[in-house]
């Protein structure tokens, strides 16, 4: 594993789930109950710099994490998302996939889902 001493994702000691070149933890600042992060073991900042194997591990682990969240939290749906670059909202320079459980009534009108990153364009 390539590490960065100042990266919080390179210092995780006890992942919730792990598989090959990826692991999962609960988000320290969850959007909803059960919000998880699926993270590459290798310190790489962008989804577009990951290898095919890393992407495969991230997506397979997302499936495993989803099953765990369905069992534990019973959400009605999910959002998946990756922020790439500061202007897209990335605050930690280590690629991670957000798996956000969604619940009936957690927002007034969920139509448009991830389009909500630009609120005035969410509803169409």
Catalytic residue from among 35, 94, 96, 98: 96
Number of Cβ within 10 Å of residue 6's Cβ equals: 8
Pick from 35, 34, 75, 80: nearest CA to 55: 80
pLDDT tens digits for range 91-106: 999 999 999 999 999 9
Output the CATH code of domain 8-93. 3.30.428.10
Q: Is 123 a catalytic residue?
A: no
Q: How many Cβ atoms from other residues are within 10 Å of residue 63's Cβ?
A: 12
**What pLDDT is recorded for position 93?**
96
Query: For 24-72, what is each residue's pLDDT tens digit?
Result: 999 999 999 999 999 999 999 999 999 999 999 999 999 999 999 999 9
**Coil vs helix vs strand at 76:** coil
């Amino acid at each position: 594993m390539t590490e960065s001493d100042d990266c919080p994702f390179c210092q995780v000691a006890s992942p919730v789930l792990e598989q090959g070149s990826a692991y999962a933890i609960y988000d320290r600042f969850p959007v909803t109950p059960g919000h998880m992060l699926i993270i590459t073991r290798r310190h790489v900042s962008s989804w577009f710099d990951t290898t095919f194997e890393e992407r495969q591990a991230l997506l397979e682990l997302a499936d495993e994490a989803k099953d765990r969240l369905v069992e534990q939290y019973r959400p009605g749906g999910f959002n998946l998302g990756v922020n790439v670059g500061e202007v897209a909202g990335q605050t930690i320079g280590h690629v991670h996939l957000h798996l956000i459980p969604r619940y009936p009534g957690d927002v007034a009108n969920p139509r448009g889902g991830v389009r909500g990153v630009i609120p005035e364009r969410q509803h169409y």
